[in-house]
Structure 1
Amino acid sequence: MTIPPEFSLIYRHFRPLAAPGALDLRDDAAVFAPPLGRELVIAADAMVAGVHFLPDDPPETVGRKLLRVNLSDLAAMGATPFGYLMTTAFPRGIDDGWIARFAEGLALDQGLFSVGLLGGDTVSTPGPMTLSLTILGHVAPGRALRRSGARVGDGVWVSGTIGDGAFGLRAIRGQVADDAGFLAGRYRLPEPRVALGQALVGVAHAAMDVSDGLVQDFGHICRESGVGGVIEAALVPLSEPTRAAAAGEHALLPFHGGDDYELIFTAPEDAAVLALGMPVTRIGRVVDAEQGVRLLDATGGAIDLPTRGWSHF
């Protein structure tokens, strides 16, 4: 019996990615049991060509970024990754080699992060390529990290370095120097802080990942927690390439540029955070709600940003 082209594509490229519960991608849905005594954690993110990745980005990194930005959401909840569902809307007539390389990137990161494909859908579109992934993880009951737990007096911490993703996009576009390709790499291949998120369970009061801009995303924590917050610009960790690129007119970009996929979290005890042995930096503090959310310069003056972060609307 002849296999329809859509199913032939799935069998060639996506069946090798299937997790055990995916039933070899032969049925309409996956069947699996979550780990005994754990709660499911589910998140979804989509990427659109020309918005979240560039049309000429390497297919391998597009696949890996799609998986990694979703893994970052699990990291922000302190969850352990389990598997994912994926919907792809490819432009009609897309080169089969592009899809093969896209799947190769997914396969590489499935191995790195111990996840597998559970199912999804594959369609064609007359518009830009659109990719959507739903990630599944698990956490001990009642232990998921939330945005809503920050308390006055908590320290504010961030992982890794900030601003690399935003400058990476500009580097790819030729707007800033990036001789070693570090910034472009950080934009195309963010590092989900899965291990850190798991380690923060029982240590952090609140957490989320930095995807739309440092100040804006910290503001989400403050709003959901009913508190205010202060970030000291001089304390925000910057890589050397970002520090060089941030000179002059781009000086404020690290604070609102987005695409970092680092974790920002609040915690009451510095010693407990430092004992984790993870690459984190204290950048501020949680204050009363009446004080709002502020970014301060070295003299304690408020810094006005052109925008607090990215918005789709």
Structure 2
Amino acid sequence: MLLRSLLMVTSGYKAKTIVTALPGSFLDPLLSPSLMEDYELRQLVLEVMHNLMDRHDNRAKLRGIRIIPDVADLKIKREKICRQDASFMKKNGQQLYRHIYLGCKEEDNVQKNYELLYTSLALMTIELANEEVVIDLIRLAIALQDSAIINEDSLPMFHRCGIMALVAAYLNFVSQMIAVPAFCQHVTKVIEIRTMEAPYFLPEHIFRDKCMLPKSLEKHDKNLYFLTNKIAESLGGSGYSVERLSAPYVPQVTDEDRLSRRKSIVDTVSIQVDILSNSIPSDDMSTRVYPPEL
């Protein structure tokens, strides 16, 4: 498979700026809706993104999806976000958020998909997040929680609980990364209540064999959910600009979506060839890369 070749090509690649690793000519086909059709293709796309985003070798520390008691123990390596990376997120952030949002809501997701989506959020926080991006990622997480509760997509209960667990794992991670005590306290309190009353909302339980699932989510106590007003209050008290938290995240619809999300396997292969032909410049690699023959 061509994406597997791309995964090998990008393994070990380190770019000084994210725009070098993910130029528009590469990012657009990589995040194409045509590559969203199969859960294994989605896994490969996320793994390629991780190869390119993880410039400080943190991915192994994030492996698996779990509630991390003390993120400081991971000894995450990071640097201050540079101007070029901040500019990249202003231009492409919505595209990345949208890919994660829609990827979380796919009905054929398995545990590995949720693990890779969680890692994507964590790596974006480490490598690309200034205060504005942190707010955007929290908005995205809350939107995912809301989508699991409302369930307009008629997802099975396992997938709804999987999304809830992913959100819990990510908010636990980001709250500790930005080290806002009141935010950490809110997240910790919700996780503690879930542990006692709704363990299927936590990754350690929902992804375990024979986890008991609830019959519905509509009647759950609000204390089991992460609340926007509580988060806004905690972040605002620490100097964050939280006005946008009150505006629910809504993914942008692309022209390709308006036409049709469904594409033939020929179109999908064509996109993968395009990705490879526009992939990492050969000057940055130890060997020159050619697209494999079909």
**Same-fold status (TM-score > 0.5):** no
Question: Which interval holds the TM-score relative to the shorter structure?
Answer: under 0.3
Question: TM-score normalised to the size of structure 2?
Answer: 0.26
Higher relative contact order (CA 8 A, sep 6+): 2
**Which structure has greater strand proportion?**
1
- The normalised TM-score by structure 1 is 0.25
More helix as a share of residues: 2
Larger Rg computed on CA atoms = 1
